[in-house]
Amino acid sequence: MTDESKRKLALVFLGPPGAGKGTQAKLIAERYGIPHVSTGDILRDNVARGTGLGLKAKAIMARGELVPDTLVFDMVALRLRQPDAEQGFILDGFPRTVAQAEWLDAFLERELIDNAHNVKVRPIVVQINVDYNQLLRRLTGRRTCPAGHIYNIYLQPPRVDETCDVDGLKLVLRSDDREEVIRERLAAYERQTKPLVDYYWNKGRLVAVNGGSAVRQVTGQMIQAIEQMSAAEVKSGRR
């Protein structure tokens, strides 16, 4: 393990649907020995376990309302205080707004100090950029077998058109994989994320990588960017 990998890291991954955030989070988490923290997973876990926070969230969602930031903050804080996150974490799906980013900055200022390097830990934000047309191919090309096997008619097609290689069942196009739905999801992401990208860019916290390359190449770009920013900030004492 390199000296860089022993440093405490607070990583935030940004990227549109289909950019490969989940795949990269798994690989980067293995590299640094830190957990991949998805706010969606946190919410589902709290609801499933019937925690106090989960019961509050469940009641709010049952009314068709959005879970408020205050409740999300409590869930995220509880998760990031777990022993497996002592050396850092990867956040996926949080923050989504500038207000959430400001909360995260304040949380890290109080609670995540890298005593070994005598620095405060601030987030390194990795933006995974993928060409719009490539995103459409990744998302609209997805076909799902009723048994759970997933294909892509452009990138990973079945041997027989529209038929699962494993069990011979007919593949289906899910409603949320239709092009009109995908285009709206991508447009919504751009609208919602731009202020967040600007926020981190102005703070010098943002690095961008080309997510259109092969998976391992993207991982290599991300590791290089993370370690360069981490090392530079430790050296300068700004972190």
How far apart CA 46 and CA 31 sit, in angstroms, is: 27
Annotated catalytic, 185?
A: yes
Annotated catalytic, 142?
A: yes
Please pick, among 6, 96, 137, 183, the residue that the annotation labels catalytic: 96
pLDDT in tens, the chain (239 residues): 344 447 889 999 999 999 999 999 999 999 999 999 998 899 999 999 999 999 999 999 999 888 999 999 999 999 999 999 999 999 998 999 999 999 999 999 888 766 666 667 889 999 999 999 999 999 999 999 999 999 999 999 999 999 999 999 999 999 989 999 999 999 999 999 999 999 999 999 999 999 999 999 999 999 999 999 988 877 776 54
Q: Is 201 exposed, middle or buried (0-12, 13-18, 19+ CB in 10 A)?
A: middle
In order of their start, the domains of the chain are 3-131+196-236 (3.40.50.300), 132-177 (no CATH)
CB 107 within 8 A of CB 94: no
Please pick, among 58, 137, 183, 185, the residue that the annotation labels catalytic: 185
CB 229 within 8 A of CB 208: no
Q: Indicate the angle between helix axes 179-202 and 98-111, nearest 10 degrees.
A: 50
CB 122 within 8 A of CB 10: yes
Please pick, among 26, 49, 110, 174, the residue that the annotation labels catalytic: 174
CB 140 within 8 A of CB 178: yes
Omega of the bond leading into 157 within 30 degrees of 0 (cis): no
Six-digit token string for 8: 């405490």
Annotated catalytic, 31?
A: no
CA dihedral 192, 15, 124, 86 (to 10 degrees): 100
CB 10 within 8 A of CB 120: no
Please pick, among 8, 21, 79, 122, the residue that the annotation labels catalytic: 21
Nearest of 75, 71, 110 to residue 91 by alpha carbon: 75
Annotated catalytic, 21?
A: yes
Please pick, among 7, 122, 138, 142, the residue that the annotation labels catalytic: 142
- Please, what is the Cα angle at 132 between 186 and 39, to 5 degrees? 40
Annotated catalytic, 238?
A: no
* DSSP string for residues in 176-209: GGSHHHHHHHHHHHHHHHHHHHHHHHHTT-EEEE
